[in-house]
Amino acid sequence: SELAWTSHPESGWEEVSGYDEAMNPIRTYQVCNVRESSQNNWLRTGFIWRREVQRVYVELKFTVRDCNSIPNIPGSCKETFNLFYYEADSDVASASSPFWMENPYVKVDTIAPDE
């Protein structure tokens, strides 16, 4: 993986090549299991060293497919996602820790695409 993010479950996210709006090549992650109910797909960046700073700004670019454009889905399609952070003084994360659930992470917000 070029981006080297950690995903859970391993079968959820796929790293793919694509193009941005200016036709520059980019690497992205995608997940599109809309026919499976009760999905819980997590994607975690590598450790971000903050050193002595008190605030870190992170910019995420994302797209979301309109659920109405997918016929006959059982209600598992989502047009939002939750953004969390986990504070640590060193890179202690592994594929199984911290646990892939809301606690021990802190929820920042539920993110929706701009209309």
The answer to whether 100 and 94 are in contact (CB under 8 A) is no
Specify the pLDDT at position 23. Answer: 96
Is this structure's pTM higher than 0.75?
A: yes
- What pLDDT digit, counting tens, does each position of 5-16 carry? 888 887 788 899
- What pLDDT digit, counting tens, does each position of 14-47 carry? 899 999 889 999 999 888 777 777 778 899 998 9
The answer to whether 12 and 39 are in contact (CB under 8 A) is yes
What range defines the domain where residue 14 resides?
Answer: 1-115
Q: How much is the mean pLDDT over the chain?
A: 86
Specify the pLDDT at position 67. Answer: 82
24: domain CATH number is 2.60.120.260
Query: How many domains, the chain?
Result: 1
